[in-house]
Chain A
């Protein structure tokens, strides 16, 4: 544009202004601004067109603003308007004059309309307070009287003073308000019907006499009708199917009339355009949705959702008429499809028709069936009632998923990854929705806005009005300054211990790994050792040396809990109202982690005193160190850890290396090896045979010897002092190889293959039960435990009683006798004989059920011996008889059951045999000696033949120990 053109324009502008001035009030701020603009035009006449474009844009913006503005500040917009017109003039120089005329006319019209107010506005600046007050009064007075501003409702409600309000309250002379019952859900309809009826009746010449009718959304089943008399109301509603005359008409008391029509602000929906909501029901239950539009009239909102479409099902429906018949409305099955961005290509591939539909605001929707999609989202009109507004911002994960949908659809951002950047998410959050940071005293903050930007400060207090008092960290600055919460940001230093106070990870503690610019923080969790990406505002410093232990009801982190009858697990993480449990179904490398609520947990298990055996039958207790001894990947095989719990042969092992499942691994006990234990039986035999005590075998846990196996050192007892006295004496008194002195004979390690038998093969197993129980058993329930077994007492006060063992110690057991109910009786352990093992070799016991002490007589009792055929019988009996004699001499009463010691000791070797023969009935009893619960009769013979004398020797020794 040439310089001369500009000049022309300026002239016109000036003319224009002069034209306008007589109409409008003189000397506005705007006017002077325009002058400045002209100045600019003069000065920079040679400047390029950009400035003009700018001007144009400003003008256009002005016009837009104009539309929204109230009439009372219209004057500015008008001027803007003019300006724009002028700029258009620049381009269309030919139409100049005509345009100006129109402009002038317009200006004149609007100016005439609001002349008073302009004047007011412009003069206000120069007037004193009283004058202004007077003018305001005038202005509103004019309005009350129906002045130019009267039609503006906003003005009316806003300006009516208290006195005016009072005057408007209903009096006894006014029509009354009546409440009428209406059909539920048809309240609005009822009102419309009344309106229609009123028209119709009017036309007929018999108008209904009610004044008005209205229904309230929050008041179901009622319609209010304003009328002078009840009869009028009854007349009006008679014959309408939506309202019930019969249910009566209630007069609303005068004092409550105002309440009836007052819109309850709190009841008003908070769902507005741009807010986040959750869908309450249906296919999209609990899904996050963004509100696009709200229509209060129809009570519906248009929301954007991540679609859950089953395209496959839709396609098959479209092709298969049968399927359509079965499921006419395309209902979705019980499994709802995953939420995924809509991809029109996929739909087209399945031969589904995707059409383009123009939207109201110029966007193009894709339509598939009845679903409309825009940039991957589904747009759907949903009843407001089935939407739940979300307080503040939605959880980050949901938001990420939601935004990822849009991004996945947007091909340009495909490369950006689907998980969405936090900062862009932040930007996407509507500003009003962003949750407020919660500051607590002592928080270190940074000022992010204003003059003190980037200054660090410490929070002193938070005030009720939301302001935060902070003390900037500047030398000699001791004043507290108040800031808005959004002017501050929490800062943390790397390594700070923090606790999460909101978001999904609420309650977790951790250490700050990194602080990023946009208030994001990377925190390593204490419990899971995982990195969490969180907002700084969700963190708070946790200086207290808390253990990070959280509790869920009565359960604590790292508790062993019972989930169902066949599953237990260790709590590895506790969340707000649930716990993550590593269950016993896991294997190393394949964790079964369940998220359970407190109610899903049956109880806490106290499995501290459990014992089990490892792959080479070493006893494993809690707090023992084990190595994993299993196939599989190298990484798994070489692991080791401390046994924390033992449950049904599963070990819950804790170790530093196990990062995935809260520091725990679950492994089957027989896939583990006790650390420091001999590697196999041959080793064991060698160790035993060598008689050296400095070998790395487990020390026996003798009664009263209560040290815990904390450190590996205990597996290498350097001094014999670590041995239990019983074991020591036994070992010293007999041959070194005597397993009677070995710590764990009851623990059931099998007779070693390469066993040097100087002391006789039967030596070990022939140990009497009492002694075996003593030497091998720890304080708790070992494998040789009698707990739960049925025993019979031999000797003492309770001789002959039978009962079930409830508790046991090294020397005594508590028994519940069949004959004495509801009482536990303590009996010496050596008097107790396991019923299951007793039954087998004791043919006479079963039929008589008494305690037959007279041994020889007993043989005749069942009469069943005759049925035994074969020559072996007498031989067998012969030897037994001999044994009996020998024992009887030694032990008196106890010797009456010589078989017991023999067979008892078999049990640990063949533990499964005992339950296999649980009930030896009297009829079967005679046979039992032959089919005694030992699969190897040879053993039996060994005992009978060669073992007797040896046995006696040892027995004598061990008895002395007691």
Chain B
């Protein structure tokens, strides 16, 4: 699920930036440091949408001359939940299941959580093929799945998903 949250970040800025472009630099640095990161609590920081405020800088007392700015910013975060339904694109298929990505999030769908009528075929591009042969899950396929388990790390989130449920499964083939 996506949220627009107000978050805080302490930025250390080198003294050479203490000039008229300081604010610009702080903004750039913030984006560089937080966008694309993952946080065990809020999930992935997808984008910084607004910088609310930048506190006055405090010179660090360690001789480096760096100043610390506390930045309050709004960011779009993406946090997956158990039970959430996501549209993903398949990145790799193997006999144990397939991996799919929803933006930064990686989801693994085990072959136990793929309907029984899908069979793994290793010939050519590895894929899961339905018994009638019409549907195929291969690299690049778009799949709607439900998250059944999440593992939140300090720096990464990993989920397992299922397509063994109503209204889940392949949305489209590789483009």
Contacts and interface: CB of A to CB of B under 8 A. Distances in A.
Contact of B32 (A513, A656, A705, A710): A710
Interface stretch (B14-22, B51-59, B127-135, B166-174): B14-22
B91 A710 contact: no
Interface in A478-508: 494-497
Interface stretch (A94-102, A397-405, A526-534): A526-534
B92 A657 contact: yes
Interface stretch (B2-10, B115-123, B146-154): B146-154
B119 to A, nearest CB: 17
Given A547-B154, A711-B32, A705 B16 contact: yes
Q: Which of B28, B149, B158 has the most CB of A within 10 A?
A: B149
B153 A705 contact: no
A721 B25 contact: yes
Interface in A645-667: 656-657, 659
A497 to B, nearest CB: 7
A962 interface: no
A193 B106 CA distance: 79
16 contacts: A511-B149, A513-B110, A513-B112, A514-B112, A522-B110, A522-B112, A657-B92, A659-B99, A704-B14, A705-B16, A707-B32, A707-B33, A711-B32, A711-B35, A711-B36, A719-B24
A511 B151 contact: yes
A952 B23 CA distance: 38
Q: Which of B35, B112, B150 has the most CB of A within 10 A?
A: B112
B151 A497 contact: yes
B149 A495 contact: yes
Contacts of A301: none
B85 interface: no
Contacts of A714: 32
Contacts of B33: 707, 710
Q: Range of interface residues on chain B?
A: 35 or more
Contacts of B150: 495
B143 interface: no
Contacts of A512: 149
A513 B14 CA distance: 49
A390 to B, nearest CB: 31
A369 interface: no
Contacts of A656: 99, 106
A706 interface: yes
Interface string A712-739: 0110000101000100000000000000
A656 B150 CA distance: 16
B105 to A, nearest CB: 10
B138 interface: no
Interface in A541-556: 545, 547-548
A688 interface: no
A674 interface: no
A497 B29 CA distance: 36
A522 B149 CA distance: 14
Contacts of B151: 497, 511, 526, 548
Given A513-B113, A513-B160, A526-B158, A495 B32 contact: no
A693 to B, nearest CB: 15
B89 interface: no
A494 B16 contact: no
B110 A710 contact: no
A524 interface: yes
Contacts of B64: 704
Contact of A511 (B15, B16, B31, B160): B160
A531 B16 contact: no
A531 B152 CA distance: 19
B152 A495 contact: no
Interface in A689-706: 704-706
A705 B113 contact: no
Contacts of A529: 108
A713 B108 contact: no
Contact of B16 (A495, A514, A713, A725): A725
Contacts of B40: 545
B162 interface: yes
Contact of B110 (A514, A705, A725): A514
Interface in B81-131: 82, 91-92, 94, 96, 99, 106, 108, 110, 112-113
A512 B108 CA distance: 12
B125 to A, nearest CB: 11
Contacts of A704: 14-16, 64-65
Contacts of A711: 32, 35-36
The 7 closest A-B CB pairs, nearest first, are: A495-B149, A495-B148, A514-B112, A511-B149, A513-B110, A704-B14, A513-B112
A109 to B, nearest CB: 67
Contacts of A710: 32-33, 36-37
Nearest to A514: B112
Contacts of B15: 704
Nearest to B41: A545
Contact of B14 (A530, A531, A705): A705
Contacts of B106: 656
A714 B160 CA distance: 32
Contacts of A511: 149, 151, 160
B22 to A, nearest CB: 11
Nearest to B110: A513
Contact of B96 (A496, A497, A530, A657): A530
Interface string A94-137: 00000000000000000000000000000000000000000000
Contacts of A725: 16
Given A548-B153, A657-B91, A719-B28, 6 more contacts: A496-B149, A514-B110, A524-B160, A547-B153, A547-B154, A704-B16
A635 to B, nearest CB: 9
Nearest to B109: A513
Contacts of B94: 659
B143 to A, nearest CB: 17
Given A495-B82, A495-B160, A714-B32, A524 B110 contact: yes
Q: Which of A494, A513, A547 has the most CB of B within 10 A?
A: A513
A719 B15 CA distance: 18
A707 B21 CA distance: 17
A721 B147 CA distance: 43
B152 A545 contact: yes
Contacts of A526: 151, 158
B162 A707 contact: no
Contact of A494 (B35, B65, B162): B162
Contacts of B37: 710
B148 to A, nearest CB: 4
A657 B94 CA distance: 12
A707 B66 CA distance: 12
A330 to B, nearest CB: 44
Contacts of B149: 494-497, 511-512
Contacts of A705: 14, 16
Contacts of B32: 707, 710-711, 713-714
Given A494-B148, A710-B32, A524 B25 contact: no
Contacts of A514: 110, 112-113
A801 to B, nearest CB: 28
A526 B157 CA distance: 11
A433 B76 CA distance: 56
B89 to A, nearest CB: 14
Contacts of B24: 719, 721
Interface in A9-48: none
Nearest to B11: A707
B24 to A, nearest CB: 8
B96 to A, nearest CB: 6
B85 to A, nearest CB: 14
A675 to B, nearest CB: 14
Contacts of A496: 149
Contacts of B160: 495, 511, 513, 524
Contacts of A547: 153-154
Contacts of B36: 710-711
Contact of B108 (A522, A524, A706): A524
